[in-house]
Structure 1
Amino acid sequence: MKLLHRIGFFGLSLGLLACGATNAPAPTTPANPTNAAPNLSGEINVFAAASLTGAFTQIGNDFQTTHPGTKINFNFAGSDQLATQMIQGAPADVFASANSQQMQVVVDAGVINDAARQPFARNRLIVIYPQDNPGQIQRLQDLAKPNLKLVLASASVPVGNYALDFLAKASALPEYGTSYSPTVLLNVVSYEANVKAVLSKISLGEADAGIVYSTDAASISDGSIGTLTIPDELNTIATYPIATTQNSANPSLAQAFIDQVLATEGQQILLRYGFITVSDAPASTTNQLLIEGNLTTPLTLTADLLKTYELQQVEFADERFRGLGIGQLLIQIQPKADAKTFTFIGSDGNQSVVPIADLTADPRAIIALDSDGSFTSIVPSATNANQIKKLVKITVE
């Protein structure tokens, strides 16, 4: 759209120069009407994470009112389900995921161009329980009570994976203990396909507690649930990316909808539904690096813990970095025999997959600490992961 405007302006400027040279009067109609911006029309299919149902429905209604003759068809479900549908050929024009992992799945499948995706909102976790609180939940440690009925989303969807991250982080702290996560998981009575299903079960009193996004809890206004905050140092600030698909049947309309989501009006709607807007910094000020997956010893790395290791210094891209050698890290976390890759994930959703063999072969590969306390991966031999800043998670697979 911007390119069309620039071409139109350039053509108009040449016309004015020519008119000035011949002293001819300015034309009363555009010299090249084909350069005018086309009117938006038709319809698009927007595949969006279930947690976006309320906010995106309102944004879509406002968009259709502003642009008569357009129609936005929504498909709300778990991000993993949507990614699978798209890869299998379901017609989609826009994908809005609740995490970067499922967006990467469709990028790898060629459904979406990697350069097209961009973050548009953030979210955080919260514990919910029926208003009469049958489990007598007063603090997070109560989730480990014997016979408590806990409902989580499946680990295949972002909110379920983030809930497991929370339990792992808590287990690394003395006030919870190493048995906290496995004990809580013994209380899980069902893993649901998406976050809306977890919310429904708790609001109907079918379980004692669940973990959902704060936006989902905010959508219940009838007093049927209570909430318990998960502190920022244990929480995950989830970043939501959005992108047009490669084979969109109406790319102009698809991009216009994304522009609306990113515009002030769209961001204000997301804010009202409890999301953190992209202009707001994540609330957590405690930098932690969660290392988990196919390994023997999961680890949550903090700045203080990093300083207890013997650190090495490397020079890369004309800068000097000091950090924990990944070879030494591998000894600490002990990947299992069939583990093959490291996935480095940044707070902005950027991620890179590097074979473990490449890491062990690179003596300068380290996890370094930046001046702001955040983590950075330095892997000089891997062009796709030379430097991932604000590293928040490493998954071993």
Structure 2
Amino acid sequence: MTGRAVRTAMAVVMALTVAGCGAGDDRASDAAGDGRVTGAVTVFAAASLTESFTRIGKDFEAANPGSRVVLNVAGSSALANQINQGAPADVFASAAPANMTAVVEAGNTDGTPSTFARNQLVIAVPRGNPQAVTGLADLSRPGVKVALCASQVPCGAAARTALDAAGVALTPVTLEQDVKGALAKLKLGEVDTALVYRTDVRAVSAEVTGVEFPESTRAVNDYPIVALKDAPNPAGARAFVAYVHSAPAQAVLAEAGFQAP
């Protein structure tokens, strides 16, 4: 577990501890048995879900008065490590099955994970595409600085699959721990391009353009979600997972550029 992941996990634990102090039964769903969900629902979600799950969380709260969605976003591998190290969470939404498998095999899930969305890579470039990038081969041109996600992160594993499929070898100038980190390097002008998800480019379309490439179809990521075994709010966990599969939440994901499972 990296120092960054440890600090994130500690911050989450501290935040939840503070939230729980003086909050009475804020961590527990309604015990009356009437199906209502109340209290905090802590969702560990892949960084690429930041915008969509922020909106879905607000919609969930509106549909369940008295509930509060606490969103912790990071790279899926870091989140899986945090969960397996005992960080308190109700729900895990991963950007790839591999990181979910790590949590399943550790015995930390309640039920079987279900795929709720799919996502595909694009080549992110600044508006105007100053390097005239049209495909993966252009990323290996001399002088073109590329940001990738680290290999243990779903966007990094997908990028490696796509590059191998295209027969392109390159040395990135940075390997980021989540897709937002790779995109941030591009927005700051530290790199010329980054391999990120289509949804992340859409979220910042005023600044960044996405270049589609055919090899991305070889590296489409399934996004699984599951309630967690030691969820502080088990009823809330199950309700949130069900809500993510509902028509309103699926419409939010589709608008963001996710594909249907």
Which residue number in structure 2 is paired with residue 160 of structure 1? 156
Secondary structure at the aligned position of 1:91 is classed as coil
Does residue 215 of structure 1 match 2:199? yes
Which residue number in structure 1 is paired with residue 146 of structure 2? 150
Cα distance change on mapping 1:71 and 1:141 into 2, 3 Å: same
**How many residue pairs get matched?**
231
Which residue number in structure 2 is paired with residue 305 of structure 1? none
The one of the two structures with greater contact order (alpha-carbon pairs below 8 A, sep at least 6) is: 2
Which residue number in structure 2 is paired with residue 198 of structure 1? 182
Which one of 106, 109, 114 corresponds to residue 109 of structure 1? 106
Secondary structure at the aligned position of 2:173 is classed as strand
Higher fraction of strand: 1
Question: What displacement does 1:140 show?
Answer: 2.6
Distance 1:52 1:69 in 2: 24
1:202-247, Cα deviation, whole Å (9 max, x unpaired): 122211111000000110132x222210215754111000000011
Cα distance change on mapping 1:134 and 1:221 into 2, 3 Å: closer
Which one of 216, 223, 227 corresponds to residue 210 of structure 2? 227
Question: What displacement does 1:128 show?
Answer: 0.8
Distance 2:146 2:63 in 1: 44
Greater alpha carbon shift after TM alignment, 99-108 vs 232-241: 232-241
Counterpart of 1:149, as a letter, is K
Secondary structure at the aligned position of 1:40 is classed as coil
Which residue number in structure 1 is paired with residue 69 of structure 2? 72
Distance 1:268 1:64 in 2: 17
Secondary structure at the aligned position of 1:143 is classed as helix
Question: What displacement does 1:131 show?
Answer: 2.1
Counterpart of 1:60, as a letter, is G
Preserved contact between residue 87 and residue 109 of structure 1 (Cα < 8 Å):
yes
Counterpart of 1:243, as a letter, is V
Q: What are the residue-to-residue correspondences of 1:1-397 with 2, within 5 Å?
A: 37-113=34-110, 115-171=111-167, 180-181=168-169, 184=170, 186=171, 188-222=172-206, 224-231=207-214, 234-278=217-261
Question: What displacement does 1:134 show?
Answer: 4.0
Secondary structure at the aligned position of 2:65 is classed as coil
Distance 2:129 2:209 in 1: 8
- The TM-score with structure 2 as length reference comes to 0.84
Distance 1:214 1:56 in 2: 16
Greater alpha carbon shift after TM alignment, 47-56 vs 130-139: 130-139
1:275-299, Cα deviation, whole Å (9 max, x unpaired): 0022xxxxxxxxxxxxxxxxxxxxx
Secondary structure at the aligned position of 1:242 is classed as strand
Secondary structure at the aligned position of 1:156 is classed as coil
- The TM-score with structure 1 as length reference comes to 0.56
Preserved contact between residue 125 and residue 235 of structure 1 (Cα < 8 Å):
no
Structure with the greater alpha carbon radius of gyration:
1
Preserved contact between residue 125 and residue 213 of structure 1 (Cα < 8 Å):
yes
Higher fraction of helix: 2
Preserved contact between residue 124 and residue 235 of structure 1 (Cα < 8 Å):
no
Cα distance change on mapping 1:254 and 1:233 into 2, 3 Å: closer
Cα distance change on mapping 1:233 and 1:129 into 2, 3 Å: closer
Distance 2:154 2:195 in 1: 12
Question: What displacement does 1:36 show?
Answer: 5.4
Cα distance change on mapping 1:225 and 1:102 into 2, 3 Å: same
> What is the root-mean-square deviation in Å for CA atoms of aligned residues?
1.7
Distance 1:76 1:201 in 2: 18
Distance 2:163 2:83 in 1: 31
Q: Give structure 1 stretches of 5+ with no counterpart.
A: 1-33, 172-179, 279-397
